[in-house]
Every structure is written in structure tokens, then in C-alpha cells.
Amino acid sequence: MLRKDDFFLEKWVTYYGGRLGRENLYIYFDGDDQEIPAFCGGCNTSLQPKIKAANVVQLEKARLAFLSDRAAELLASGYDMVIGVDVDEFLIPDPQCGMGLAEFLSHNAGTSVCLSGLGIDVGENLRCETDLLEDRPILEQRSYALLCTRYTKPSVITAPVRWGRGFHRVKGHNYRIVPNLYLFHFGSCSLRRTKIRLDIGSKVLNSSERHLHKRAFTINIVSTAKVHDWEKTISYARRIQSWFRPVYAWNKPSMLGRLIVVRIPARFRETV
């Protein structure tokens, strides 16, 4: 579900449509004042009345309640699995596995009601990367990411559930972090786009309130922190997130306060 974000939506449709078939994509536009882009042809699209709520928290609750209901309907109609992600999130199996997304998920279908990829929050490294060119794959241009628990979330379900805000958890369920599966989040991949989307000034990276701007925070971290080797770090991060959970949320992962930046392997470059 989205509102006015054609840049990521076109890449979303291309990626998931090419792997799952456009006839299996369901896109809900939040607000019937929008136009459905031509590139969504072949997908199941729907203009919905704009969700109204008193604040952002209530808005997200309403949005995920709506999407949880739609997912339950799809499962009842004959689908055996539903993926719920935002428009800037891409569920990617490691290319070295030699399996496409559908085949990879089918191999893991019986292991849990909820499946998750490890969260990879891709950021623009201001030390060595330039502004994003929209006609080239993102991962050709972006090579650094924060291992972020916010995006290690139960995106794949095999039975009706109630997603929490932002798909970040499932009420009453734990979930399995699947080896060799990653949820790439690209909301922080361009400082220019971040400034536009968040309506923030150019000084945000040096601001004492930058923690309130999570996307700019990711850009800051990947631009300044030590970079770790992917192969040596990924298994460790998955184990930590699988075993340790915050005391206030047993069904959310924890990195025990560690902020780890990794270099994304070249094998992912052509995926998105």
C-alpha cells in the first residue's frame, strides 16, 4: 500500500512481477485522488479512500489492519503464501543459492507461519557514492548497508495473522529468520530523495535530532562507520537477532545495541 511514490513502485512491480507474475501482485493506493501508473498493467490495483486517523500511530494501525484483512482473503482464495512489504522493500534470496524467489520460499514454506529475511538497510555512502541514477539498478550504485533489525520482519506468512505497524511484527507469533534470505530496504539510498520525502534541511546529518530522522541516520552511519565483511558478519547477525529480543517485545529482533555496516557483495548488483 502506498501513496505517490512512482519511483520505487516501478522498481517494485518490475522486481516482484518478474519473479512471481504480475497477476499475483496486489497494490493498494492510499487515496482515490491518485492515478494508477501505466507500468502497473497486469497487476491487481485498487484506489482506496484515503485512510484518516488522529495521528501517525493510528494511521499505521489502520493501514496494517486493512492489509492483514486483504492477506487473509488471499490465503482463503487459494494462495498458500502471502508477502507483505512496503514499496521500497525487496525480499531477495542470496543469488549464490541458485534459486528464484518463488522457488526459494517454497523450499521454506513449511518451517513457520511467519518467515523473515535479514534486514539490510541500504544507505548512500557520501564518502564514495554519487546521486542515484534512476535508469540503472540501485545495487549497481549502492554497496553499503546497515544491518537493521527494523527490517528483519515477518514479511512472509502462510496463515492469516495480524501484522503490527509497518509489518514489523505479527501479533501473538514469533517468526523464523531464514538463512540466505534478505529484506533490502532502499528508503535511505538517496540523500536527495530523503530530503525531499522528509522535508528536512541540509544540516540534518549534523543535527542533534538526527535520530528522529531514521533515513538520514542510516546515511550518516554508512558514511562514517567501519565497514565489515558481509560473509563474516551475516551469520553472526542472524544468530543474534534470532536469539535475543527486547524485553518489551519478544517478537521483535535485537542486535544488542550494535550498529554494523557491511559491504554488499557484487553478486547482488543486478537484482534491483
Q: Which residue has the higher pLDDT, 164 or 180?
A: 180
Give DSSP secondary structure letters for 120-174: EEEE--TTT--PPPTTS-HHHH--EEEE-GGG----EESS---B-GGG--BTTB-
pLDDT at 207 over 70: no
- List CB contacts of 89: < 8 A, sequence separation 6 or more: 151, 155, 183, 184, 185, 186
pLDDT at 210 over 60: no
Average pLDDT in the 138-148 region?
A: 97
pLDDT in tens, 75-111: 999 999 999 999 999 999 999 999 999 999 999 987 7
Average pLDDT in the 230-250 region?
A: 81
In contact, 196 and 131? CB cutoff 8 Å: no
Phi-psi region of 262 (alpha: psi -120 to 50; beta: other; left: phi over 0): beta
Quick one: cell of 141?
A: 550504485
Kindly report which listed range (155-169, 173-187, 212-226) carries the lowest average pLDDT score.
212-226
For 238, phi then psi, to 5°, come to: -65, -40
pLDDT at 202 over 70: no
pLDDT at 68 over 50: yes
Average pLDDT in the 151-174 region?
A: 90
**Confidence class for position 52, pLDDT limits 50, 70, 90:** confident
* pLDDT at residue 217, as a whole number: 87
Kindly report which listed range (196-200, 243-247, 258-262) carries the lowest average pLDDT score.
196-200
* pLDDT at residue 248, as a whole number: 53
* pLDDT at residue 128, as a whole number: 96
Average pLDDT in the 28-47 region?
A: 95
* pLDDT at residue 251, as a whole number: 67
Cβ count near 180 (within 10 Å): 17
What does pLDDT average to over the chain?
89
* pLDDT at residue 195, as a whole number: 74
In contact, 186 and 122? CB cutoff 8 Å: yes
Which ranges of the chain does DSSP label H, i.e. alpha helix?
6-20, 56-76, 101-107, 138-141, 191-198, 214-224, 230-243
**Domain extents for the chain?**
80-268
Sign of CA dihedral 194, 197, 202, 208: negative
Grouping H, G, I as helix, E, B as strand and the rest as coil, residue 244 is coil
Distance CA 41, CA 27 (A): 11
**Confidence class for position 264, pLDDT limits 50, 70, 90:** very high
**Confidence class for position 206, pLDDT limits 50, 70, 90:** very low
**Confidence class for position 114, pLDDT limits 50, 70, 90:** very high
pLDDT at 242 over 90: no
